[in-house]
Structure 1
Amino acid sequence: MALAVHTPGAGDFASLRAEFELPDSFSPDVLAEAAAVAGDPADFAGGRVDARHLPLVTVDPPGAKDLDQAVLIERRRLGGFRVHYAIADLAAFVPPGGAIDREARERGQTLYLPDGNVPLHPPELSEGAASLLPGVERLAVLWTIDTDAGGEPVAVRVRRALVRSVERLDYDTVAAALVAGDPHPSIAALPQLGRLRRDLAVRRGAVEPQLPEQEITAAEDGGWVLTLRPRHEVEEWNAEISLLTGMAAASIMLEARVGVLRTLPEADDGAVGWLRRSAEALGIDWPRDATVAELLAGLDPARPASLALHAGTTRLLRGAGYTAFDGTAPQLATHAGIGSPYAHVTAPIRRLVDRFATEVCLAVTRGVPVPDWVRAALAELPELMSSSDTRAARVERACLDQVEAWILAEHVGRTFRAVVLRAEQTRAEVFVENPPVLGRCVGTGFPESGRITVRLTAVDVEKRRVAFERA
């Protein structure tokens, strides 16, 4: 069991919101524009494919209202799969250069805090008119991707459509239905396609560190509980559908030589060599002909040595960014963590860049010029998204640090079991198992990996800091 917060005053994130200057509402002009554009979907239906007959479903965390994607996976008669992937059509609601557009460029993406989100778009759109809620007609950009029997795409279409999701699912209910042998028909083929795509990812050389994911949830007493977020296979399979679409979008833009990609340079030989030496020190056998992806795929992430090596792989994933191009192919066009060119197009409610990348794909596949307002924005999108990503990461880490400090404030002097993630001569990065806390520990004689006992020596709630020493 994780430790619940009982410290007086715990649960107030107002100071954190003020520190990062997070907006708590939208301006009147943004709200007025949202109210004006959030009309009847039938008013926008002209020129759209009528796809309301497709039994699409959404799969999201429980309670989510900003639903970007709805999916239907069918088996093709000649083998392989057909993926129908409907993405919320934000561009239909956002006048270029208008109040919503300007505000979205300032925000960059939705920020998720334990006591409420800071949305990219006004809730009237993000949780209402634009969200792919079940049982109602919605505007969407419909990707239809056919794959062969091995899961590789063989045909891609992207069109504006009118859709109607039939059900809102979450990861827990989908997983339970699969275990019971009674999956929803619309995603009954998800495990098969998801596994094929995961295998292809390893063959592409995709690198995905399997590190503990901390999650903050509300406690019944009004405080907060810090737990480990379980890794659902369903969530991984669902993510593969998004990645498949993002790779298809990247191919479309690269062929047309216009667009914006999510990019990450390949790790240099020095970083890979360092990781290989780390594996040897951790006692992990790394065959000379095995790639990083193949090695990680064969490890049990629950073992301390495996966990330490996964932590080390983050050194291979530095330098992620966005690459915009118009007229010439970019020098850097791939994402080393995915092992392929890739673009963000599947979360336009929550991320700014997706709206523009989607418009490029729609124009290119229709054989019409990319809209001027899209082309004009391409050059500034990398900087806007980079700044937004940095702020999102800092806010997420600050929330975790704050809750860790609240939880541990009454336990100074207590000892805990921890896993060594990275070790130096007199300090180490450790993962405390209960409560699940990432922290720094001072001491001597740290092992390369394994479990040790640490003592909590200090907690500063105001500065969101905790300190451990080796016990």
Structure 2
Amino acid sequence: MPPATPDFAAIRAEFALPQEFPPEVLVEAERAAARGPAGERVDATDLPLVTIDPPGSKDLDQALGVVRTATGYRVHYAIADVGSFVRPGGALDAEVRRRGQTVYLPDGSVPLHPPTLSERAASLLPDGPRPAVLWTVELDGAAEPVSVDVRRALVRSAARLDYEGVQADFDAGRLHPALAGLPELGRMRRALALGRGAIELEMPEQEVVPDGAGWTVRVRARSAVEQWNEQVSLLTGASAAGIMIEAGVGLLRTLPAPDPEALAGFRRTAEELGVAWPDGAHPAEVLAGLPPSGAVPLAVRRAATALLRGARYTAFDTAAGVPVPEDPGHGGIGSTYAHVTAPLRRLVDRFGSELCLALAAGQEPPDWLRAALPALPEVMAASDALAGKVGRACVDRTEAGLLVGRIGERFEVVVLRAGGPEGEPGEVFLADPPVVARCAGAPRAGRTALVRLTAADPGTGRIEFAAGDAPASGAAPTA
């Protein structure tokens, strides 16, 4: 039986994703685009900035420039100034609050904002000056921030780049001048994050891509450039959180530190799998010391997901009697953090940017902004859950379509999690095609095993394996 083509239209219908914007929203967006951004702004069109995004992206949220200075580094991070196009209380504002975020599917996105804004007027495309919220962070020689400035500006992106191309340029020694300081700063910031206890799982990240005849699933490899660029975004989010906490008003992305029971369970699993745990070592250090692939590292990283539970958005406003949370940090990042860097595709970032702009200018946040804070965590939690379910459905149903004709076959897999004592299924990873699925009778985690495919339903995405008669020999599939 040939592979089954996944039905993404059915997924859109199943999750009631909006097919289009209401007419009044489109009219308001067109008028905002034609009117252009309101308010005064600094002319920063002379700054060397570039965007780095997946190929073909048009909703460009960030443009960056990183340079070495006499005392350290200077980061310019320009963020699309969506707030200057969206009128509080208008039809567009109401619609994006309903959507929460852009939902991505393999055959196209369900955007947060109408394309006339998200892919044209508000996007940081390199075809002319664009309004932006410009963050300038000065860092010392150890890559620690010493000053932060944020203001509205007019910027001009010099180039629209993608991760693969920038990585190739770096490898060839011809990196764009705007990115001259990115490799060194990115490495140093990652090292600092590890020292703070930031937990990087590096689990195989699946994505659905066209293969010429239909769709397939592959493991997306993250380049060094993408990791360095991520550090600039995290630096900006941490800077925003600091501004909010100091002022006593804001919206943080929080994740509680792992409780002692979760830590003990993870350490026990790691040691059972033969992973050394030096005295006093933090889980982040243990994870960072793992090889990039293999059965044991995969199983250990899967076990570490128990350390990253409870992420949420937390609003506070001390003037309204809502205090800064007792634990304002994000355990996965190792610092406080707020979302401000992706306003074209995530609702909360627009409000975070507006807060920081007002606070940095020594102004009180406007009433409409303060009034919005209490409701935003629930809106974002719902949209995060929806986007996660849609993304998982796309991957699961594509996986099932690839395997539908192979029921009864045996496969060599890595056991990520053994089955439970009451017959609960375990979890396995198949390398080709890359599939994570349940497995009845899964043996001990961290080993390769032969399993039999017992179910593959392209309509629901259900895939199930059953443990084989004996463990497989040979090398583990790599991630």
Which interval holds the TM-score relative to the shorter structure? Answer: over 0.9
Q: Give the whole-Å Cα distance in 1 for the aligned partners of 2:173 and 2:459.
A: 50
**Matching residue within 422, 433, 439 for 2:431:** 433
Structure 1 partner of 2:58: 65
Q: Percent identity between the aligned chains? A: 55
Q: Corresponding residue for 1:460?
A: 457
Deviates more, 1:286-295 or 1:32-41: 32-41
1:372: Cα distance to partner? 1.0
In 1: Cα distance, 2:435 partner to 2:324 partner: 44
Pick aligned residue for 1:297 from 268, 283, 288: 288
TM-score by length of 2: 0.94
Aligned-pair CA distance for 1:55: 1.6
* Residues 419 and 440 in structure 2, CA contact (< 8 A), matched pair in contact too: no
Report the residue type matching 2:177 in the other structure. Answer: P
Corresponding residue SS for 2:51: strand
Structure 1 SS opposite 2:329: coil
RMSD across aligned positions (CA): 1.3
> Which deviations, in whole Å up to 9, do the C-alpha atoms of 1:162-182 show, x marking residues without a partner?
011010111100110111011
> Does the 8 Å contact 1:417/1:434 carry over to 2?
no
Distance between the aligned counterparts of 1:140 and 1:349, measured in 2? 12
- Please, what TM-score do these two structures have when normalized by structure 1? 0.96
Matches within 5 A, 1:405-420: 405-420=400-415
3-state SS of paired residue (2:335): coil
Select which of 255, 259, 280 maps to 1:268.
259
Q: 1:262 Cα deviation (Å)? A: 0.3
Is the CA contact (8 Å cut-off) linking 1:420 and 1:447 kept in structure 2? yes
How far apart in 2 are the matches of 1:440 and 1:358?
Answer: 42
Aligned mates of 2:75, 2:324 — CA distance in 1? 28
User: Which stretch of structure 1 is more off in the superposition, 22-31 or 292-301?
Assistant: 292-301
Partner of 1:107: 99
For 1:320-358, what per-residue CA distance to the aligned partner results, in whole angstroms no more than 9, with x for missing partners?
001101113222311111111100000000100000111
Task: Please say if residues 34 and 125 of structure 1, whose CA atoms lie closer than 8 Å, have aligned partners that are also in contact.
Answer: yes
Does 2:369 match 1:374? yes
Counterparts of 2:375 and 2:327, CA distance in 1? 17
3-state SS of 1:438 partner: strand
1:323 touches 1:332 (CA, 8 Å); kept in 2? no
CA distance in 1, matches of 2:40, 2:389: 43
* CA distance in 2: counterparts of 1:271 and 1:195, whole angstroms: 29
How many corresponding residue pairs? 461
Residues 15-30 of structure 1 correspond to what in structure 2 (within 5 A)? Answer: 15-30=10-25
Counterpart-to-counterpart distance in 2, 1:358 and 1:341: 16
Cα pair 1:416 1:434 within 8 Å, conserved: no
2:384 corresponds to 1:393:
no
- Pairing of 1:187-198 with structure 2 (within 5 A): 187-198=179-190
8 A contact 1:208–1:337 mirrored in 2 = yes
> Which of 24, 28, 33 lines up with 1:33 in the alignment?
28
1:201 and 2:193 are equivalent in the alignment: yes
How far the C-alpha of 1:38 sits from its partner, in A, is 0.2
What are structure 2's unaligned runs of at least 5 residues? 469-479
Deviations 1:420-464 (A, max 9, x none): 1111245320011100001011126x1221211221112222222
Moved more, 52-61 or 461-470: 461-470
Q: SS of the counterpart of 2:387?
A: helix
Secondary structure, in 3 states, of the residue corresponding to 1:35?
helix
Over residues 234-254 of structure 1, what are the superposed CA-to-partner deviations in whole Å (9 max), with x where a residue is unaligned? 111100000000000000000
**In 2, are the aligned partners of 1:60 and 1:171 still within 8 Å (CA)?**
yes
Give a deviation string over 1:271-301, Cα, whole Å, max 9, x none. Answer: 0000010011100001121101111111113
8 Å CA contact retained: 2:76, 2:134: yes
- Given the alignment, which residue of 230, 254, 262 partners 2:221? 230
Q: Does 1:256 align with 2:239?
A: no
User: Aligned with 1:166: secondary structure?
Assistant: strand
Q: Is the 8 A contact 2:143 2:185 kept in 1?
A: yes
Structure-2 change in CA distance of 1:255 and 1:115 (3 Å)? same
Unaligned runs of 5+ in 1: none
* Equivalent of residue 42 in structure 2, options 45, 49, 65: 49
Residue 38 of structure 1 aligns to a residue in which SS? helix
Structure 1 contact 345–355 (Cα < 8 Å) conserved: yes
For 2:7 and 2:271, the matched residues in 1 are separated by: 45
Aligned pair partner of 1:307 in 273, 298, 309: 298
Does the Cα contact within 8 Å between 2:248 and 2:316 map onto a contact in 1? yes
Residue-by-residue CA offset, 1:349-396 (whole Å, 9 max, x unaligned): 010000011111111110111011110100001111111111111111
Q: Report if the CA contact (8 A) 1:135-1:167 is conserved.
A: no
Matched residue of 2:279: which SS? Answer: coil
Distance 1:394 1:172 in 2: 28
In structure 1, C-alpha distance between the alignment counterparts of 2:379 and 2:428, rounded to whole Å? 33
CA distance in 2, matches of 1:211, 1:455: 24
Instruction: State the distance in 2 between where 1:393 and 1:47 align.
Output: 38
Equivalence map 1:126-275=2 (5 Å): 126-221=118-213, 223-275=214-266
Instruction: Give the conservation status (yes or no) of the 8 Å contact 1:67–1:132.
Output: yes
Alignment of 1:280 with 2:280, yes or no, is no
Say if 2:109 is the partner of 1:117.
yes
Match of 2:311 among 301, 320, 324: 320
- Deviation, 1:6, is 4.6
Query: What is the CA-CA distance between 1:132 and the residue it aligns to?
Result: 0.2
Q: Matches of 1:109 and 1:375 in 2, distance apart?
A: 20
- Distance in 2, matches of 1:210 and 1:309, equals 11
CA distance in 1, matches of 2:458, 2:239: 46
Q: Is the 8 A contact 2:129 2:156 kept in 1?
A: yes
Work out the CA distance in 2 between the residues paired with 1:330 and 1:268: 17
SS at match of 2:379: helix
Partner Cα separation in structure 1 for residue 466 and residue 452 of structure 2? 5
Query: Which residues in structure 2 correspond to 1:326-365 (within 5 Å)?
Result: 326-327=317-318, 328-365=323-360
